[in-house]
Amino acid sequence: MDFPTWMAAVQARTEAALERYLPPATAAPARLHAAMRYATLGGGKRVRPLLCHAAGALFDTPPADFDAPACAVELIHAYSLVHDDLPCMDDDVLRRGKPTCHVEYDEATALLVGDALQTLAFQVLAEHGGTAAMIALLAQASGSRGMAGGQAIDLAAVGKTLSVEELEFMHIHKTGALIRAAVLLGAHVGGADDKALIDLGHFAGRVGLLFQVVDDILDAEAPTATLGKTAGKDAAQNKPTYVSLLGLADAKRKAADLRGEAKAALAYFGERALRLQQLTDYIVDRRF
């Protein structure tokens, strides 16, 4: 199976699984459930589920076993987007080419949508084979010492001058922690040994930063229509980015370095790491 076919297959099975896990829009409270589905289905590249399945492809485990952890991570990601877009946070009106959840519904509903999507993430994992250790891993990655903490650091950084090290500390929490969880949950389900978990941890750390550097480059370069969200927003809000700190050329060089380091971390797995390697390339090359 070539990479685009594999990727489309994972995206399709992730969409189908999310569709199953989300409550139907007909179930009460119907408006909340419709809004949860609006915020989750039919959009996004599903990078975190792809990473979970790609890590899973290292092992002889059927793809269906990775649907629950992949969706759990994606539900955490979806909740974070809904809350990040709220007026008291980034106050954004466009997401994945559609009005943001609080614009399409209302602010109170969007707050509850984010809350309930987070809960659903843990429910899906707990109800479909997730162990307490896997649930703890997802919680650590999502909470105040992971993604939510990164968001707090981000808030505090608006209008400030950060060093590259401080920017990196923020991103390791804000996006890196959940990307790491996606990879490690796939590895856990596949039955990875300690050596594999350590190497995949290194890989995921590099890929997490890579993802953010590329995001910053896209935000600086791409028109809004291509991006599916408001472009140039970080610069307009005076948020520090890799591009604002390093300049575009050095940000691209940093992306190239991180791609190399990520792939080097996969050496132990040899040929079995094909999907993880291809996905690393996809993350870098998706737009430039």
Site residues (vs its own copies, CB under 8 A): 23, 27-29, 31-33, 36, 79, 83, 86, 88-89, 106-109, 111-112, 114-116, 118-120, 122-123, 126-127, 129-133, 135-136, 139-140, 142-145, 148-149, 151-153, 155-156
In the bound state with its own copies, the residue whose beta carbon lies nearer, of 36 and 209, is 36
Q: Give the shortest CB-19-to-its own copies separation in angstroms.
A: 15
Q: Give the shortest CB-49-to-its own copies separation in angstroms.
A: 20
Distance (Å, whole) CA 206 – CA 191? 22
In the bound state with its own copies, the residue whose beta carbon lies nearer, of 143 and 247, is 143
Q: Give the shortest CB-135-to-its own copies separation in angstroms.
A: 4
In the bound state with its own copies, the residue whose beta carbon lies nearer, of 88 and 236, is 88
In the bound state with its own copies, the residue whose beta carbon lies nearer, of 36 and 58, is 36
How is residue 20 written in tokens? 């199953």
In the bound state with its own copies, the residue whose beta carbon lies nearer, of 25 and 235, is 25
Q: Give the shortest CB-78-to-its own copies separation in angstroms.
A: 13
Q: Give the shortest CB-279-to-its own copies separation in angstroms.
A: 26
Do the beta carbons of residue 80 and residue 147 sit within 8 Å? Answer: yes
